[in-house]
Chains A and B, each alone.
Chain A
Amino acid sequence: MLFPSFDAGTSRATLLSRRRFVQGLAAGGAMLAFGSRASSGVVQAPRVPELRGADLDLVIGETPVNFTGRVRTAVTVNGSLPAPTLRLREGTTATLRVRNALPANSVHGHETSLHWHGIVLPANMDGVPGLSFDGIHRGEAYVYRFDVRQAGTYWYHSHSAFQEQAGLYGALIIDPVEPEPFSYQREHVVLLSDWTDLAPEALFARLKTMPGHDNVYRRTVGDFMRDASKDGLRATLGDRGMWGRMRMTPSDLSDVNANTYTYLMNGTTGPGNWTGLFAPGEKVRLRFINGSSMTYFDVRIPGLDMTVVAVDGQYVHPVTVDEFRMAAAETFDVIVEPRGQDAYTIFVQDSARTGFVSGTLAVREGLRAPVPALDPRPILTMADMAHGGHAMPGMDHSQHAGMAMPHDMAGMDHSQMAGMDRAMPGMTHAASSTAPVHPASEVGNPLVDMQAMAPTSRLDDPGNGLRDNGRRVLRYSMLRSLFDDPDGREPGRSVELHLTGHMERFAWSFDGTKFADAAPLQLKYGERVRVVLVNDTMMSHPIHLHGMWSDVEDDAGAFMVRKHTVDMPPGSRRSYRVRADALGRWAYHCHLLYHMESGMMRTVEVRE
């Protein structure tokens, strides 16, 4: 190892000399990870360390990294970004001693935590400061100990402030006791994340004051001319008028994109080319984890079928696709059988098509396959925001009908109402559309800037930017757990929550009420409850319930797939069953980090 781990006391001169050295390798990754092979001309992707066993020691500290040509300070576990891959075994008791070695005056705070995402465990082991425990303060340690009662691909990350953005995330793999329902000869973890050189606090401040900063894809005069000559002046004016009345832009697909982020695969940038080896003819299991703070990733491996065998750690009926979308915090296990080529590109673009990260599956290090171009950048249609119009023949009013409603009575002029009326007849025939009743706390709420008018489950919608792209794209409707509904009871009651927000203020909430102003959601121990979510915003939100499974229902209300994080695209209404079988306080939130920190979170209390 060229660079032994060094602490924050490292002198500036040392840092600078290191910086000069790594600048040429900015493509690579965490500085610490570079071995002597770096000088041989082959950029060797750093390997993420793996920790195995039932008794592990983890030290959280700061580590200089360089992903862009500039040295920044990451928050790491044992000096590694991503944090070491933890390998536990089902049926054992895991003991994880986590020590806080953050230096004094760390910009990432004095307190830290690790949350084991998707793991069923006692409340005080869940790792959310203020809900499960009091956090781990500087110089202190916390011993997490829990029985491992599940298997599969999971991950872990900080739940303190913005440390997750600064690098505090890693893979958590649990080997099963029972044989798995599929076979493979080799496996790789593919952990995807988004890195920024900005201090996460500064990025948050920028989102709060200039939320449109990264949206440099707004439609221009030139786009107007082009659309007018293609669709006609009247239609184009109608479209622009509708978005204008909503005071929103259809290119607003993600709050933070590649203009700010450098996307990483296993802590390596695209040019660094993380490489996973295979031998021809082998079945290779890829454990994809979206450990990003704010990014939806679309994953494909040109030339390879991917058979999805598990989602969020849980087995599903195998389904073979070319591409799948990963909401933040989701995990997908796929089996590929590379043969006939020495190298394949794992191509991962953000859902807004502003950037990508790629890596390679190859028979040996140093190979590459062609990297595809980014897909064309999609824009949101009205259909995206309230109705799956594209799936309904004859329902493509997407460019003309105002189906989502800006939540501003002053703006609700008659011309707009007329537009909605025209849309309504088609909409009411949609079997699965349900006119939502919005909670009273959204009414007259200045921080709710729009509401869905006709949300549907959209389970069969591959998602904006993935429709009709000529590839087989995974949809939620294709996901079926390999097991029946493990509880079997009909939910005794429903809890409906609306995902709400205000784009311009970058304010996010459930039912228009931010975390700070909301009472905990109460569940009775043992009960089965149906959670109904309605997305009243124009952004996607991955919603994660700690401590308990989210058993997603199909359109008929039948159990479909067990997940820990449920993606909610704009204009969607989805339901899932929760069995309240874990006492305690649990976090329930959007897994886009800055949405959560802006208020899109609730405490769920399960009491006897």
Chain B
Amino acid sequence: MSARPVFAALIAVSLAARAQHAGHDMSQMGHAMQPPPAEATNAKAPPASATPAPSPDPHAAHTMQGMDHSMHDMPTMDMSQTKEQAAPYTPVPVPTDADRAAAFAPLTPHAMHDREVHLFTRVDRLEVDDGEGAATEITAWLGGDVNRAWLRAKGRTDAGRLEHASVELLYGRLVAPWWDVVAGVRHDTGGGPSRNWAAIGVQGVTPYKIELRATGYVGDSGRTAARVEAEYDTLLTNRWILQWRAEADAYGRDDPARGLGSGLSSFEAGARLRYEITREFAPYLGVEVEHAYGDTATFRRAHDEDAHDTRIVAGLRLVF
């Protein structure tokens, strides 16, 4: 995007929008000196101030003899347009060659940090439960304000055996102030043969500050899946924070090898009370409920697993 036309359009918009400039001919905009807006157009309230403003003295210019000559030397001053425009009380100095030489030396452009790339890594969950399970969830991004590479990883082990794990690598683009569109790949492993997916979704913050991720997946052999995750923080204090979390997973068709049934397969909901010793380091205690539905529940029962599970969890939330 070229900013120059945008800027010109912007001036046009702002000028056109302001009543006091409605009469201006936009084609004159490039001119240095325009007729001043008539006094009556400043239809604003008088200042409610303690001390009255010393208004500019219109006769002050008359006391400055010889000024007109200096003004005529100014190439940019179109005096024909400045009937109402008094000459400046103090003349604008005529630029010297020294001024010109000082003004526009060829330089290496000014360095700023507004295109800097940053890396953010947060271990949302690193926890053990009251059984033999352990789980982790990691979110990381690398990039700028709009374009970022996202890593979303989560997994759970039970008695040292990897139950399931999912790693997503996504390109994310901020499309609205609170919403990224993400697209990339997901790799599932554990609990059966690995599966690869193409992923597309949105993530962001809803009104009322619920963090939301909704992603759809297409796998090999025409498999489809969807995952929706939501998080919400309740501030008991600024350090004691109760985090609500929910996740729903759905699949387009049965995947018996991984123990997944079609339709809504599982729903997790948890509440974790963390204490932010610092923003970067917060231990927590919580409870997590997991329900399996449909064929997923059937598969689990067939493997002597519970379709419903309630776990007490303890863990750490970390930011690097």
- Cβ contacts A to B, 22 pairs, < 8 Å: A123-B103, A205-B118, A218-B235, A222-B237, A247-B207, A410-B179, A478-B50, A486-B90, A487-B89, A487-B90, A489-B36, A492-B31, A492-B33, A513-B6, A518-B3, A524-B76, A557-B42, A559-B53, A579-B88, A597-B112, A608-B95, A608-B100
Whose C-beta in chain B lies nearest to the C-beta of A413?
B207
Q: How far is the CB of B304 from chain A (nearest CB, A)?
A: 42
Which residue on B lies nearest to A128, using beta carbons? B110
Contacting residue for B176 out of A122, A446, A513, A596, CB 8 A? A446
**How far does the Cβ of B44 sit from chain A's closest Cβ, in whole Å?**
5
Knowing A130-B111, A477-B49, A526-B76, say if A495 contacts B279 (CB, 8 Å). no
A557 to B45, CA, bound (A): 10
In the assembled complex, how far is the CB of residue B248 from the closest CB belonging to chain A, in whole angstroms? Answer: 21
Contact B319 A317 (CB under 8 A): no
Tell me whether B49 and A488 are in contact (CB under 8 A): no
The reply to whether the CB of A511 lies closer than 8 angstroms to some CB of chain B is yes
A111, closest chain B residue (CB): B111
Docked-complex contact B89 and A408, CB < 8 angstroms:
no
Asked, given contacts A486-B89, A487-B88, A515-B114, whether A241 binds B6 with beta carbons under 8 Å apart, the answer is no
A208→B34 CA distance, assembly (Å) = 43
Bound Cα distance A247, B178 (Å) = 9
Select one of A440, A502, A598 contacting B10, CB under 8 A. A440
- Choose the segment among B14-22, B149-157, B190-198 that binds chain A (4+ C-beta atoms closer than 8 Å): B14-22
Q: List CB contacts (< 8 Å) of A499-521 with chain B.
A: 502, 504-505, 507, 511, 513-519, 521
Are B95 and A525 closer than 8 Å at their CB atoms?
yes
Are B60 and A484 within 8 A (Cβ)? yes
B17 and A599 within 8 A (CB):
no
Instruction: Please give me the residue from chain B that is nearest to A509 by CB atom.
Output: B114
Decide if B319 touches A133 in the complex (CB within 8 Å): no
* CA of A317 to CA of B48, assembled, Å: 17
Residues of A within 8 A of B21 (CB): 494
Q: Which residues from chain B contact A480 at a C-beta distance below 8 Å?
A: 51, 53-54
A220 and B236 contact, CB distance less than 8 A: yes
**Contact mask for chain A residues 45-78; partner B; CB cutoff 8 A; 1 contact, 0 none:** 0000000000000000000000000000000000
B108 to chain A, nearest CB (A): 6
| Chain A residues positioned under 8 Å from B92 (CB to CB) | 525-526, 579, 581
**Nearest CB of chain B from residue A218's CB, rounded to whole Å:** 6
Q: In the assembled complex, how far is the CB of residue B210 from the closest CB belonging to chain A, in whole angstroms?
A: 9
Roughly how many angstroms separate A213 CA and B280 CA in the complex, as a whole number? 9
Q: What are the residues of chain B within 8 A of A440 when measuring CB–CB?
A: 6, 9-10, 13
Closest CB-CB distance, A508 to chain B, in whole Å? 8
Report B161-190 CB contacts with A as 1/0, cut-off 8 Å. Answer: 000000000000011111100000000000
Within B240-272, the residues touching A (CB, 8 Å) are none
Closest CB-CB distance, B235 to chain A, in whole Å?
Answer: 4
Chain B residues with CB below 8 A from A396, complex form = none
Query: Known contacts A492-B85, A518-B3; can you find 10 more A-B pairs with CB under 8 A?
Result: A209-B120, A408-B177, A439-B13, A441-B10, A447-B174, A460-B48, A488-B88, A492-B34, A554-B53, A579-B92
Contact A131 B49 (CB under 8 A): no
Instruction: Show the binding face of A for B, using Cβ within 8 Å.
Output: 122-125, 128-131, 133-134, 161, 204-205, 208-210, 213, 216-222, 241, 244-245, 247, 317, 319, 406-411, 413, 431-432, 434, 437, 439-441, 446-449, 459-460, 477-478, 480-481, 484-496, 502, 504-505, 507, 511, 513-519, 521, 524-528, 532, 554-560, 579, 581, 583-585, 587, 596-599, 601, 603, 606-608
* Shortest Cβ gap from B253 to chain A (Å): 32
Q: Is the CB of A131 within 8 A of B110?
A: yes
Complex CA distance for A432 and B93, rounded to whole angstroms: 36
Contact B237 A504 (CB under 8 A): no
Q: Which residues of A contact B77 (CB under 8 A)?
A: 526
The residue in chain B whose Cβ has the minimal distance to the Cβ of A496 is: B14
B5 to chain A, nearest CB (A): 9
**B4 at interface, CB cutoff 8 A:** yes
B110 and A526 contacting across the interface, CB-CB below 8 Å: no
Give the shortest distance, in Å, between A467 (CB) and chain B (any CB).
15
Interface-centre pick from B17, B48, B112 (highest chain A CB count, 10 A)? B112
The smallest beta-carbon distance between A563 and chain B, in angstroms, is: 15
Q: Bound complex: CA of A130 vs CA of B116, how far in Å?
A: 18
Report the Cα distance A466→B188, complex, angstroms.
Answer: 56
Contact, CB under 8 Å: A446 / B146:
yes
Q: Contact at B118–A556, with CB atoms within 8 Å?
A: no
- Cα A483 to Cα B48 with chains together (Å): 20
Pair B55/A558 contact, Cβ less than 8 Å: yes
Residues of chain B from 193 to 211 with CB closer than 8 A to chain A in the complex: 205-209
Which residues 83-118 of B sit at the A interface, judged by CB distance below 8 A?
84-90, 92-93, 95, 98-100, 102-105, 107-116, 118
A131 CA / B216 CA spacing, docked (Å) = 48
CB within 8 A of A459: which of B47, B61, B85? B47
Residues of A within 8 A of B86 (CB): 488-489
Interface string of B55-80 (1 = CB under 8 A from A): 11110110000000000001111000
Is B46 part of the contact surface with A, judged by Cβ < 8 Å?
A: yes
Closest partner residue, chain A, to B234 (CB atom): A221
Given that A133-B105, A517-B3, A585-B103 are contacting pairs, would A599 and B177 also be in contact in the complex, using a CB cutoff of 8 Å? no
Q: How far is the CB of A319 from chain B (nearest CB, A)?
A: 7
> Do A521 and B36 have beta carbons less than 8 Å apart?
no
Q: Among the interface residues A209, A492, A559, which one has the most CB atoms of the partner chain B within 10 A?
A: A492
Q: Are A484 and B50 neighbours in the complex by a CB distance under 8 Å?
A: no
- Report if B289 contacts A (CB, 8 A): no
Contact of A210 with B319 in the complex, beta carbons under 8 Å: yes
Known: A477-B50, A599-B112. A584 touches B6 (CB 8 A): no
A557 touches B44 (CB 8 A): yes
Within 8 Å of chain A (Cβ to Cβ): is B2? yes
A437 & B13 in contact (Cβ 8 Å cutoff): yes
Most buried by B among A128, A319, A584, A603: A584
Would A556 and B44 count as touching, CB distance under 8 A?
A: yes
In the bound complex, do residue A485 and residue B56 qualify as a contact, i.e. CB atoms below 8 Å apart? Answer: yes
Contact: A516 with B102, CB < 8 Å? no
Residues of A within 8 A of B111 (CB): 129-130, 161
Which residues does chain A contribute within 8 Å of B42, judged by CB atoms?
Answer: 556-557
Check A507 against B145 for contact (C-beta < 8 Å). yes
Cα distance, A484 to B57, chains bound together (Å) = 7
- Bound-state Cα–Cα, A319 to B86, Å: 31
Docked pose: A608 CA to B77 CA in angstroms: 10
Q: Is the CB of B99 within 8 A of A122?
A: yes
Please give me the 9 A-B residue pairs with the lowest Cβ-Cβ distance, nearest first: A130-B110, A490-B36, A599-B114, A437-B17, A584-B103, A496-B14, A431-B45, A524-B32, A583-B103
Q: How far is the CA of A556 from the CA of B102 in the complex (A)?
A: 37
Other-chain contact of A477, B10, B15, B48, B110 (Cβ < 8 Å): B48
A603–B92 alpha-carbon span in the complex (Å): 22
CB <8 Å contact, A244 and B207: yes
**CB distance B114 to A597 under 8 Å?**
yes
Q: How long is the Cα–Cα vector from A186 to B77 in the complex, in angstroms? A: 47
Cα distance A570–B81 when bound, in Å? 38
Question: Does B108 contact A134, Cβ atoms closer than 8 Å?
Answer: yes
- Given contacts A134-B107, A245-B207, A490-B85, whether A514 and B114 have CB atoms under 8 Å apart is yes
Give B98's nearest chain A residue, CB to CB: A122
In the assembled complex, the Cα of A455 lies from the Cα of B113 at a distance in Å of 30
Q: Does B238 contact A (CB under 8 A)?
A: yes
Shortest distance from the beta carbon of B98 to any chain A beta carbon, whole Å = 8
B7: A residues at CB distance < 8 A: 511, 518-519, 521
Residues of B within 8 A of A213 (CB): 279
Q: A489 vs B18: C-alpha distance in the bound complex, in angstroms?
A: 20
CB distance from A524 to the nearest CB of B (A): 4
Contact B51 A478 (CB under 8 A): yes
Q: Is the CB–CB distance between A220 and B238 below 8 Å?
A: yes
- Bound-complex Cα distance A212 to B200 (A): 29
**Complexed CA–CA distance, A494 and B26 (Å):** 12
> A519-B2, A608-B95 known; A495 and B11 CB under 8 Å?
yes
